[in-house]
Copies of this chain bind each other. A is one copy, B any other.
Amino acid sequence: MPVDVATAALDRLLELTVVLGRDMSGHLAGQGLTESRAHLLFVLHGTGPTTQRALADALDVTPRTVTGLVDGLEASGHITREPHPTDRRATLVTPTPAGAAAARALAEGRVELARALFADWRPDDVERLTAGLDAVLSRVQTLVEESS
């Protein structure tokens, strides 16, 4: 495998991470959200009321960081803190109606983006691309695990 062919592919991937990130940020700003807070809200939307501890695990982040993110989302009206019914140490985080609406809008935005990106493609080609990305993905994951 020629090195320049491989590096060309990696370069495109790295550039895509930048450009996609920029596009995402635009959508998030419209909902009054940052990337990290949107991530938390999205996880929450998928699971229902969740303790901060569980969120820390899900986001792969320390409990202290979750405190900050939840503080921000509470102040912006996207979520509420409620006492855990049986464990008085724990807090349950729940989306407000506005928070749930924002999460739905984000999910919808992702579908829109996918539609816009691949509108002109043949389904076969998209599936081939997905398969290729899957292969790269599992390889990277293996490499990360090996090196840690």
A-side interface residues, number (CB < 8 Å): 51
A-B contacts, 25 of them at CB < 8 A, read A1-B123, A3-B111, A5-B127, A6-B114, A6-B115, A6-B117, A6-B118, A6-B121, A9-B117, A9-B127, A9-B130, A9-B133, A10-B110, A10-B117, A12-B133, A12-B134, A13-B133, A16-B17, A16-B137, A17-B21, A19-B137, A22-B144, A23-B144, A23-B147, A116-B139
* Chain B residues with CB below 8 A from A47, complex form: none
The number of times this chain is found in the oligomer is 2
A23 touches B111 (CB 8 A): no
Contact of A136 among B6, B14, B16, B137 (CB under 8 A): B16
B128 touches A128 (CB 8 A): yes
Additional 19 contacts, C-beta under 8 A, given A3-B114, A8-B130, A125-B132: A1-B115, A2-B123, A5-B118, A6-B126, A9-B126, A12-B130, A16-B136, A16-B137, A16-B140, A19-B137, A20-B140, A23-B140, A23-B144, A26-B144, A26-B147, A113-B143, A116-B139, A129-B129, A132-B132
